[in-house]
Chains A and B, each alone.
Chain A
């Protein structure tokens, strides 16, 4: 199963940032919320903490913007919102992803049980 887990981690590395953008497409969210939401999906992240460097990279690329805000119920939170450029990148990835997914699905044999 070494090969399978390797492939999964490669796929995850490529797709995760777009999953974050996809999550932010609907509404802005703060770090903890993003980490918890993606962490709850099986096979999405290996450690929730690694999402923070990813968010920082997305910010550097101009795909998200971030602002610290006081919270009524705890410590200050950093809110992330998708930018116009982020939306373009997300739309582009979505098209390519669907095409790729369909192509792979077409070629792979039916699941054997």
Chain B
């Protein structure tokens, strides 16, 4: 059978679906179906606009309903655990062990999502200590002696081939240190940026937990 609809109700349901995007897919579908069912059950073919408004007023705003569907907010506040986790993960102090303790502290915090924790672990495993280690590798690699001197002379018939395949040794000799240093700088910056982001994220989460 046809279910009664009304432009005002359709508007509300569209707004509801937009607000519900914050929810996980399965929960969203279930809730949207319930609200849809509620609205069409409450509507009669002869419902006036005032009837629709009163039905929707009693239902509450989409935002309020979606907020009630969101998982309970954490009760924790950003504190020593979060700060220590980030400081240890970046600076370590004791190589490897410091970073591991930092990771353990991060995993035990309720103020970061799983995705944020993963980000913290991946950028950058071992913290600044491992970047220093990487720096050692790069300097060793760039200091390695290069085999033979390349003859840049090319005959017109060979030209095509040599141009597309530059000498690997020359490549290593000139670009390894540059890319290596750039990479290290990038890793250090990314690490500091991620730590800063996670610190703020924990602050935002703990701010939400305070009574409105």
Contacts and interface: CB of A to CB of B under 8 A. Distances in A.
B164 interface: no
Interface of A is mostly: helix
Given A46-B60, A53-B68, A77 B37 contact: yes
Interface in B1-34: 1, 3-4, 27, 30-31, 33-34
A53 B3 contact: no
A56 B40 contact: no
Contact of A56 (B30, B37, B38, B62): B30
Given A32-B42, A47-B64, A53-B31, A78 B59 contact: no
A49 B38 contact: yes
A113 interface: no
A47 B68 CA distance: 10
A46, A55, A76: most-surrounded residue (chain B CB, <10 A)? A76
Interface string A31-57: 110010001000000111110111110
Interface size class of B (residues with CB under 8 A): 20 to 34
A74 interface: yes
A53 B69 contact: yes
A75 interface: yes
A77 B62 CA distance: 20
A54 B68 contact: yes
Grouping DSSP codes into helix (H, G, I), strand (E, B) and loop, the B interface class, with mixed when no group exceeds half, is helix
Contacts of B40: 74-75
Interface string A16-35: 00000000000000011001
B62 to A, nearest CB: 8
B139 interface: no
Interface in A46-71: 46-50, 52-56
Interface in B46-95: 58-62, 64-65, 68-69
A50 B38 contact: no
B69 A56 contact: yes
Interface of B: 1, 3-4, 27, 30-31, 33-38, 40-42, 58-62, 64-65, 68-69
Nearest to B60: A47
B60 A78 contact: no
A15 to B, nearest CB: 16
A47 B33 CA distance: 17
B26 to A, nearest CB: 10
Nearest to A53: B69
A68 to B, nearest CB: 8
Nearest to B64: A47
A75 B37 contact: yes
A50 B68 contact: yes
A31 to B, nearest CB: 5
Nearest to A35: B38
Nearest to A39: B58
Contacts of B27: 56
Most A CB within 10 A of own CB, among B1, B4, B41, B60:
B41
